[in-house]
Amino acid sequence: MVASTPAAAARQTSPPALPAQVLLVAGVMLVGLIAVSGAYGFHGDEMYYVVAGQHPSLGYVDQPPLTPLLSALSVALLGVTPTAVRILPAVEMALVVIIVALIARDLGGSAPRPDPRRDHGRSLRLPRRRSSRHDKRA
């Protein structure tokens, strides 16, 4: 069947949406990282990035120039606090979860589907341990 409009063609070829579980994991990671971001002070590298962001240069030998610039942007918008410096990395980690899920989907991965003929609601059952000849039972 040939699509009659470009919008219909796009709907036919668009990949399925991400499962809600992926978005839930990404959201939990984001909230968890932000929740604990103020629990301890600055790490030495974080302060270095804040200072390096105040003096931008393309000549840093130990990091790319974007890292201090992103740190400077975060500090300019939110102030000099550990939470402000850690918000962008937390968002980036949530995006990494989503990107990995997209890559897995593109490579053919899918969520396991329980077999309704065999499962009977016991999907979290642990496998039975098989005894071996090395067991020391009397």
| 46-57 pLDDT, tens digit each | 888 888 888 888
Q: Is residue 39 part of a domain?
A: yes
- Work out how many domains the chain is built from and give that number: 1
Q: Domain span at residue 47? A: 19-106
CA dihedral for 56, 61, 65, 71, sign (positive or negative): negative
15 SS3 class: coil
| 4-55 pLDDT, tens digit each | 666 665 556 666 677 888 999 999 999 999 999 888 888 878 888 888 888 8
Check: CB of residue 78 under 8 Å from CB of residue 87: yes
Distance CA 63, CA 54 (A): 15
Check: CB of residue 105 under 8 Å from CB of residue 15: yes
Q: Is residue 67 part of a domain?
A: yes
Q: Is residue 27 part of a domain?
A: yes
